[in-house]
Amino acid sequence: MARSLLEITDLAGDELQQLLTLAQNIAEKNTPKLAKDIAVATVFFENSTRTRVSFELAAKRLGLTFCNVDINVSSQAKGETVLDTCLTLKAMGFAAVIMRHKQERLINQIAQQVPDLTFINAGDGMHAHPSQALLDALTINQQKKVDWPALKITIVGDIKHSRVTPSLTAALTKLGVQQIIYCAPNYFLPEQLPPNVAAIEDLAAALADSDVIYTLRVQQERFDALSEINLQDYIDNYQITKQRLLIAKPTCRLMHPGPINRNVELADAVADSSQSDILKQVENGLYMRMAMLTFLLNGDVG
Ligand code: NCD
């Protein structure tokens, strides 16, 4: 049975820490090489820039054979099921499929049906996005050199429709972070909170003493009525501005998974400031995805 990574909870014991170490080694230019005859494919049913491209670059940097299945010109348009697409790739000898799909846990079902193919979840609906959480943990680890239990990490924005938040929360929890705050207006808070998370609607109260502010896009494509929310009201009360950044610790780092909607969740001056790690996250995405492929396809985390 092939090893897949569909959610952060698939990582046992100290495997998350092993991935952080492996990705950091890769960042320091110790690139592992995998056998050229291992083939991996990206199959993305939703838009993506950084996730898909960095998986492609990661595979190529590792010396793997790589193909992107372009869904717009694939047999999906002729009515092929996602399962049949995966079985087809398996029959050609692909070892791994990296998939993004709007249907939550579809990838979990398919991974059970095709147990000898490695699956990597690159985002499923509002459920999970483990590679994003892992690259975020790598970025925090580098910036904070890090005493995880002492950190206060505040996630601000459209948490309700975010798949990044559940995975990031699971990763931070595994690493021992004690203070995870969700900050959003009521309409962007999830109905149920993880047991170790506090929700605070008041932005200033949430930002006070934060070590990391993790901002999220208003993910309009994942909910029906934008009319349910007042975007200007959201901007007035929750946009991270230079002034609001001052409420957090002076050493506070600012993160965002991208894509940014400039001057909605983040003011330009903040997105481009020296406190912003947004492009560092993108860079680390390459290293972490190389680490994930090495870990899953080789098991070599030495
Ligand atoms: C996120 C996603 O697709 O879930 N982006 C990403 O993968 N970097 C967040 C988002 O779309 O806002």
Both tokens assigned to 188: 């962007």
Query: Tell me, what DSSP letter sits at residue 128?
Result: B
Nearest in space to 183 (alpha carbons), one of 153, 206, 151: 206
Mean pLDDT for the chain?
A: 94
Give the dihedral of Cα atoms 207, 51, 167, 163; nearest 10 deg: 80
Question: What is the pLDDT averaged over residues 152-175?
Answer: 97
Residues with CB under 6 A from ligand 1: 50-51, 123, 129, 132, 163-164, 217, 219, 257-258
208-222 pLDDT, tens digit each: 999 999 999 988 777
224-281 pLDDT, tens digit each: 666 667 889 999 999 999 999 999 999 999 999 999 999 999 999 999 999 999 999 9
pLDDT bracket for residue 290 (50, 70, 90): very high
The SS3 of residue 65 is strand
- Residue 164 Cα to ligand 1 middle (Å): 7
Residue partners of 248: CB distance under 8 A and separation at least 6: 154, 207, 208, 209, 210, 211, 213
pTM recorded for the entire structure: 0.95
Please say if the pLDDT value at position 300 is more than 50. no
Q: What is the pLDDT of residue 227?
A: 61
Give the position, in ligand 1's atom list, of the atom nearest the Cα of 51: 7
Please say if the pLDDT value at position 106 is more than 80. yes
Both tokens assigned to 136: 């975020």
Please say if the pLDDT value at position 302 is more than 60. no
pLDDT bracket for residue 301 (50, 70, 90): very low
The preferred substitution site among 49, 51, 223 for testing ligand 1, maximizing ligand atoms within 8 Å of CB, is: 51
| Ligand 1, atom 1: closest residue by C-alpha | 257
60-75 pLDDT, tens digit each: 999 999 999 998 878 8
Specify the length of the chain in residues.
302
Q: How far is CA 26 from CA 17, 31, 40, 46, 139, in A?
A: 14, 5, 20, 28, 13
